[in-house]
Amino acid sequence: MSEQATITQEQQTQRAGKYLTFVLDEEEYGLEILRVREIIGYMDITAVPQTPDYVKGVINLRGQVIPVVDLRTKFGMETTEQTEKTCIIVVEISQGDHSISTGIVVDCVSEVLDIAEPDIEDSPNFGSTVDTEFILGMGKIEDSVKILLDIDKVLSGDNLGEFENADATTEEELEVEDEQ
């Protein structure tokens, strides 16, 4: 039991720090500032065929091609027109042993907050039907709550496991057909 409490304490300590906060549909979210590479104004995005609807496409940022994800669409929110405040936050996500730069479209950037460990709570439990794995915690700032995101889990290829399983099933089906 004490080992579990130590792990929880360690995780909470790791969550404390500086967060870049931003707005999506009147709700405020936060990202660990160390994951933010830069913030740029909204720019032309080149669409890429046969990508999920939340993938807006790619941008050319100083010679580097970077995929761009619309967080509103990713989170199932209604899309809106871009405004002068709409921007792209370029973040570094970890995939395996390397990192990838990815842009996320947000309504506007708010501020950088230093959130202490006692001000971060675990995400609420909504039962097994609601996935909250991508929420790092809930930051309590004065009278408001900021949803702190684990950007790796938000942007991870969580569907890749499904594709891997589909490929395995297809291979098994082909082997059965070959045997017949």
- Give tens-digit pLDDT for 123-171: 877 666 666 788 999 999 989 999 999 999 998 863 322 222 233 333 3
pLDDT of residue 5: 39
Does residue 180 register a pLDDT over 50? no
pLDDT of residue 30: 97
Residue 150 backbone phi and psi in degrees, to 5: -90, 95
Does residue 21 register a pLDDT over 50? yes
Taking the CB of residue 70, how many other CB atoms lie within 10 A of it? 21
Sign of CA dihedral 69, 71, 76, 81: negative
Contacts by 163-166, CB closer than 8 A, 24 or more apart:
none
pLDDT of residue 127: 63
pLDDT of residue 130: 63
pTM: 0.77
pLDDT of residue 13: 52
Give the model confidence (pLDDT) of 65-120 as tens digits.
999 999 999 999 998 899 999 999 999 998 778 888 999 999 999 999 999 999 99
Q: Span 13-38, mean pLDDT?
A: 93
Answer with the residue of higher pLDDT: 128 or 62. Answer: 62
pLDDT of residue 107: 97
- Kind of pairing, strands 135-141 and 120-121? antiparallel
Whether the Cβ atoms of residue 70 and residue 24 lie closer than 8 Å to each other: no
DSSP 156: S
Does residue 37 register a pLDDT over 90? yes
Answer with the residue of higher pLDDT: 151 or 4. Answer: 151
